[in-house]
Amino acid sequence: MAETHVDLPAGSGTGTRTRTGTHAGTGTEARSETGTGTGTGEAPPAAPLPVAAPAEGAAGGGALKARLGALRELVGLSRTRLDDEVLAEAGRVLDEAAARDRLPTVYTTVAIAGATGSGKSTLFNALAGAQLSEAGVRRPTTATAVSCTWEAGDEETPDGLLERLAIPARARRRAHVVDTALRGLILLDLPDHDSVDTAHRDQVDRLLALVDAVIWVVDPEKYADAVLHERYLGAFAGHADVSLIVLNQADRLPDEAVDAVLDDLRRLLDERGVALGEHGEPGAGVLAVSALTGDGVAELRQLVGELVAARTAAARRLAADVDGVARRLGPVYIADGAEAPVGLTTRAREEFEDRLATAVGAQAAGRAAERGWLRRADRACGTPWAQAVRRLAIHQAERRGEPPALAAKRLRAASPPVVARAAVEQAVRRLAADASDGLPEPWARAVRDAARHGAEELPRSLESALNEHPAGALPRPRWWSAAGAGQAVLLAAQFLGLCWLVTAVVGQPVVGRWLPLALLLGGSVGGPLLAWGGAAAARGPAHAWGRQEEWRLRRLAADRGHSQVLEPVAAELMRYREVRERYVVAASPSGGSEVSPTIR
C-alpha cells in the first residue's frame, strides 16, 4: 500500500516541544524540539500513517462486503437454532453496517473520550482552534456530546451522520479555522465515561458503538485507572487500528517522567491486548500532548488528518466489529477450535441399520424362514412313516390340551417379528451421539433433538411396515413333487414286497423268494436315502430363502429409519455445515478468499 504524507498548513503550529517518549521494547528515545515560534514555524511532522485508497461505501472493499454478507446469512441460518441473545450483537453490527453504508464516507466521525478531569474538552477546543466546548473545573463539565465539523467540500453533507449520532442541533459546531488536512472530520467531545450521572455513561457507550475512530484521553494521574482499561481500552482492543491513546496534561510532568509514563501506559495497553502501532505495524498510536500549552497538538492533528484523509476508518471500524462478533460467536460454531466434525459417516449409518435390523428381528426371522423351508422340504421329501409319526405327535399334544397352534408350531413358519422398542431407542441414541460428536453444543443438541423427534414414531412405523409387507409364501420347487412321487413308489414297493414275502411264508406258490425280499429292502432303504438327499438338496435354497427374508426386513427397517431419523439428522448436519462455512468466511480477515475449510 502506498503511503502519503498529509502536511499541516504553514502557520498551524505554535511553538511546541513534542515528546513521544521511549518506545516500549526498543530502548530508543524519539524527541523533537523547536524553539518558540512566531506563527511561521512548523512542528516537525510525526511518522505518517499509511493512507489507503478511498473505499466505496463504509462497507467498501470486497473482503468486508463478503464478511458482512456471510454474517448476515449466518444469522439467518442460525435463528431457529440459537437464542436471540446469542445473535443480538451480530444483528446490531449488521444494522449499524447497513446504516453507516448509507451515509457518506467523505466524513469520518472521531470521538474524544476520557475520564473526568482528563482535559477532553480542552483538547477538543485545541484541535478545533476555537472555544467550542465548555471546559472548566466544574464536574462533569460536558453533559451532552458536542460536535465540530470540517466541511468536506463535496455535495455530501454531514447531517445524516449527525442525526445517526443523535447530536442535538444546539451542540453542532463548524470549524472556524479552515484546515485542509482535516476536511471531512466530524470531531465529537463526549461526556466523561466515569461520570456520576449514569445518563452520561450511557451516552458515551452509545456513541462509542457508532463512531468510526476514538481518541482516548488519559491524564498523568489516572492513566492506569482499572475501569478505563478493563471496561473500555480492553474491550476496544480489537479496534486498536482506529484508536489513538493520548496522554494529556504532559506539561505537568518533567521530560523524563513523560517518557516513563508513556512506557508504563504502553505496558498496560499491551497487557490488555491492545496492539500498538509501532515500527510500521497497524495498531493504536500513543503520544503525549498538552492541550493547555499546545505541546504535541500539531502531531495529534496530523495523525487525525491522515486517518480522515484515508477515508477507510469506517470500514476498518466495521471490520473490527465483525472480528469481535466472530470471536465471541466462535464457541457456538467451532468446538474448541477443532477441525470440522466428521458428522454422519457411512459406518454410523451401517451400524444404525444393523441395530434397527436387530430390533425388528431380521436375523431371527431369516433363520426361521430357513427352518420353515427345510420343514417344508422334509414334509415333501421325507418318508411317509416319518410324517405319520409327526402327525401322531401333534394328535397326542392336542389330546393333552395344548392349543392346536402350539402343537403345530414346529410345522409352521415363525410369526411376523415384533419390534423391540428398547433396541430402537438405543439405536437412535447411539446414532445421535455419533452424528453430534465434535459439534458445538447448540448444534449437537439440535442433532439430538432431530433424532429424538424422528424416533418417537419409528417403532410404530416399523410395526406398520411389517404388517403391510408380510413375508411371501414359501415357493414349492418341482423337484419336491418328484421326490414325493418317489417316496410313494418306494412305499408301494415296501407294501408289495411285504405282501409277497408274507404270501411266500404261509406256503403259497410265488415266483422266487428273493424278489419280494429285494422289494422290501429296496423300499425300506430307498425311502430314507431319498429323504436324506432331499434334505441335503434343500439346504442351499433354504439358506438363500432365509437370507432373502432377513434382507427384506433389513431394508424395511432401514427405509423407515432413513426417512424418520437419518434424513432429519442429515438435514441438521447440512445446516451446521452451511453455517460453519458462513462463519469461516465472516471470521476471515480476507473474507474467505484465503480460507478453504474442510467441511465434510
Per residue, the 3-state secondary structure of 18-48, as one string, reads EEEEECCCCCCEEEEECCCCCCCCCCCCCCC
pLDDT for position 325: 93
Each residue's pLDDT tens digit, 277-306: 877 778 899 999 998 899 999 999 999 999
Cα distance between residue 520 and residue 491, in whole Å = 9
Residue 18 CA to its chain's centroid (Å) = 50
504: nearest Cα among 496, 240, 285, 168: 496
Give, rounded to a whole angstrom, the gap between the first and last alpha carbons of the chain: 38
Q: Whose CA is closest to 560, among 364, 362, 407?
A: 362
* CA–CA gap between residue 273 and residue 262 (Å, rounded): 16
| Residue 186, SS3 per DSSP | strand
Residue type, 36: T
Which amino acid makes up residue 13? G
* Helical residues (DSSP H) of 400-477, grouped into ranges: 404-407, 421-436, 441-455, 458-468
Helix (H, G, I), strand (E, B) or coil at 108: strand
User: Which pLDDT belongs to residue 43?
Assistant: 35
Rounded CA-CA distance 224/231 in Å is: 12
Phi and psi at residue 250, to the nearest 5°: -65, -20
Predicted confidence (pLDDT) per residue in 1-59, tens digit: 333 333 333 333 333 333 333 333 333 333 333 333 333 333 333 334 333 334 445 65
- pLDDT for 25 equals 35
284 — phi, psi (to 5°)? -75, 140
Q: What is the pLDDT of residue 395?
A: 67
pLDDT for 368 equals: 83
C-alpha grid cell for residue 511? 415266483
**pTM for the full model?**
0.70
CA separation for the pair 499, 180 (Å, rounded): 136
Task: Say which residues have a Cβ less than 8 Å from residue 175's Cβ, sequence separation at least 6.
Answer: 128, 129, 130, 148, 149, 150, 151, 182
Predicted pLDDT at 94: 95
Residue 472's pLDDT is 64
pLDDT at 48: 40
Name residue 183's amino acid: R
The stretches of 272-403 forming alpha helices (DSSP H) are 297-310, 313-333, 346-359, 362-381, 384-399
Q: For cell 434382507, what's the residue?
A: 551
384-418 per-position pLDDT tens digit: 777 767 777 766 766 766 655 444 444 444 455 57
**pLDDT on residue 510:** 59
Task: Return the residue matching grid coordinates 470440522.
Answer: 340
Using DSSP, state whether 492 is helix, strand or coil. helix
Q: What are the residue ranges in the chain where pLDDT is below 50?
A: 1-56, 137-139, 405-414, 594-600
* Angstrom distance (rounded) from CA 284 to CA 350: 56
